[in-house]
Amino acid sequence: MIKTSKGELPVYFGMNALARFGDLTDKTMTQVLDTLSDMSTLKMSDMLAFIYSGFTEGARREKIECQIESVEMIGDMIDDDGDLITKVMTAYSKQSVPEDAVESDGKKK
């Protein structure tokens, strides 16, 4: 869950979120994976689509109605909370590292 201007919202970056991101940005699987390995290559509109995909997938997995109606709403939310990108990217980083690759002190093996 991430605290946003729309309240506490679930975010999840599994395969369905990555597929949605690819569809929204017209990227192939290889392009999605390459882009996510170097986030500095993302266009700003792609970053909004990535965040939107995570929130919509989080809501689907939690079986709740998604509070985010559009990619543009993500831009509005970032305008309201400049730390939102950092919060979402922190969640993505935590979700993209397998638990068995992390030692008990939180460091990667």
Residue type, 65: E
Considering the entire predicted model, what is its pTM? 0.85
Q: Could you tell me whether strands 2-4 and 7-9 are parallel, antiparallel, or unpaired per DSSP bridges?
A: antiparallel
Report whether pLDDT(15) > 80. Answer: yes
- Band of residue 109 on the pLDDT scale cut at 50, 70, 90: very low
What pLDDT was estimated at residue 108?
A: 46
Which residues are CB-neighbours of 19 under 8 A, at least 6 positions away?
none
Rounded to 10 degrees, the C-alpha dihedral 101/91/15/57 comes to 150
What pLDDT was estimated at residue 102?
A: 44
| 15/102 Cα distance (integer angstroms) | 21
Question: How do residues 60-98 score in pLDDT, each as one tens digit?
Answer: 999 999 999 999 999 999 999 999 999 999 999 898 765
